[in-house]
Every structure is written in C-alpha cells, then in structure tokens.
C-alpha cells in the first residue's frame, strides 16, 4: 500500500465522527450515571445544609453566652420556624423576640426544620418572652455569668436541669438524620451531636 493511499484513508476515517448509534449509547450511559448519582448528590447537599445549620445554631448560643458575660446581663439565642426556614436572633433577654428588628433575624439553610418532638429548649411567647407551652419561639437564655437559666434573674444552678436543653434540627428528605445542639452542663457548655440509634430513658434521640 502506497504512503499516499494510507494517508488518504486515515484522513477519511478521521472525518467520519460518531455514528448515531454511538451517540445514542453515550446519551444513555450519561442518563444512567446521572440517575444513579443524583440521589447521592442530593443527600450530600442536604446533609451539608443540616450540618451548617446546627453549627450556626451552636455559634448563636455561644455568642449569647459570651455577650451575657461581657455585659453582665442576660442574653439569649431565640429560634423560630417561619415556613420552610428556621430563623435565629441573638439579643438581650430584656427584649422580647417580637421586638428584635427583622434584619437581625438570620435564616438557617433552606428546608431545615426544628424537630419539635426532640427539642427541649424553653418555648416562649414571642411578645412577652415568658415561657409558654404553646409558644412559637425556642430560646437558650444565659445569665450574667454565662449559665443557662430559666428566668433572666436566676443565679447559676438555681433552676436546676430545667435551664438546660437541646435544639434538634432535621431535613424532610433525611430520615433519622437529625443533628442537635445540647447545653450539656449548668455552666453553659454546649456540644453538637447527631441522632442516636436508640432513645434514652426520656424517649429522646439526641443526648
């Protein structure tokens, strides 16, 4: 075979491109790969949203505690569910959640929800900041020494275990994927954790 004929054959072959059958196979393979990877990708994104939200909530509680010790007066982290979003604000306990300016309420990640069955923070009336079973705001309050308290004038340890509590956040597409912030000591130390496989003696999964 002459060199000219060989070069001419290679040139012709390179111009042929993909056949319709090859393109269809490629599209099918891409579709299968996308179908397999999409759920895992969504789970990763939702887990990330949940993790970021619980870290921000923990930061809000720590900042409220720090401000209380700095100002020698009680501060609190307030949280409320607004549609598909959880909002958090950090403010002095002399101010009710309803008095906090709108721009000071910060949204957590989209679709994150407060798990009301597993959250044990105090529920308060938004207008009075008084503890109410049917309240719409959850709060973590710290006195002038940074201890979690039931009332803003309480001393450290005065309200016993009622002052402690936990916030549990969930995502509707992550079953049993809850994450929590726990006020674990009467000195106000907080820690983050995730839902346990078995409930404790109080039938709660975040402990």
The topology (CATH level 3) of 19-194 is: minor pseudopilin epsh fold (3.55.40)
Q: What share of the chain is helix, strand, coil (3-state, %, to 5)?
A: 35, 25, 40
The pLDDT score that the predictor gives to residue 31 is 72
The pLDDT score that the predictor gives to residue 143 is 95
The pLDDT score that the predictor gives to residue 25 is 76
The pLDDT score that the predictor gives to residue 34 is 64
pLDDT, average across residues 49-56: 96
The pLDDT score that the predictor gives to residue 75 is 97
For residue range 137-178, what is the model confidence (pLDDT) as tens digits? 999 999 999 999 988 899 987 766 667 899 999 999 998 899
pLDDT, average across residues 179-190: 91
The pLDDT score that the predictor gives to residue 6 is 47
- Per domain, the residue ranges of the chain are 19-194
Give bridge partners of residue 191 from the DSSP assignment. 182
The pLDDT score that the predictor gives to residue 33 is 64
Of residues 201 and 110, the one with the higher pLDDT is 110
pLDDT, average across residues 18-26: 76
3-class SS at 90?
strand
The pLDDT score that the predictor gives to residue 5 is 56
* Strand ranges in the chain using DSSP code E only, listed in sequence order: 75-82, 85-92, 106-107, 113-114, 122-124, 137-142, 165-170, 179-183, 190-194
Residue 1 is encoded by which pair of tokens? Answer: 């075979």
Q: Are 167 and 79 in contact (CB under 8 A)?
A: yes
The pLDDT score that the predictor gives to residue 72 is 97
The yes-or-no verdict on residue 39 having pLDDT over 90 is: no
Residue 13 is encoded by which pair of tokens? Answer: 């072959």
For residue range 61-111, what is the model confidence (pLDDT) as tens digits? 999 999 999 999 999 999 999 998 999 999 999 999 999 999 999 999 999
The yes-or-no verdict on residue 26 having pLDDT over 80 is: no
For residue range 118-136, what is the model confidence (pLDDT) as tens digits? 999 999 999 999 999 899 9
pTM over the 0.85 mark: no
């Amino acid at each position: 075979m002459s060199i000219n004929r060989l070069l001419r054959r290679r040139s012709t072959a390179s111009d042929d491109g993909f056949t319709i059958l090859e393109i269809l196979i490629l599209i099918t393979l891409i579709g299968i790969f996308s179908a397999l990877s999409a759920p895992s990708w969504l789970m990763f994104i939702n887990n990330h949203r949940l993790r970021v939200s619980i870290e921000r909530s923990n930061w809000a509680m720590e900042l409220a505690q720090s401000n209380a010790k700095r100002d020698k007066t009680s501060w609190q982290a307030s949280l409320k569910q607004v549609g598909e979003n959880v909002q958090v604000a950090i403010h002095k306990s002399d101010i009710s959640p309803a008095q906090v300016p709108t721009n000071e309420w910060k949204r957590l990640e989209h679709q994150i929800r407060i798990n009301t069955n597993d959250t044990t923070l105090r529920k308060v009336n938004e207008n009075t900041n008084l503890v109410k079973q049917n309240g719409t705001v959850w709060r973590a309050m710290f006195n002038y020494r940074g201890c979690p308290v039931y009332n803003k004038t309480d001393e450290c340890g005065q309200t016993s275990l009622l002052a402690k509590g936990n916030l549990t956040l969930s995502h509707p597409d992550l079953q049993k994927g809850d994450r929590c912030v726990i006020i674990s000591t009467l000195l106000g130390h907080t820690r983050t954790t995730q839902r346990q496989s078995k409930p404790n003696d109080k039938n709660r999964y975040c402990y």
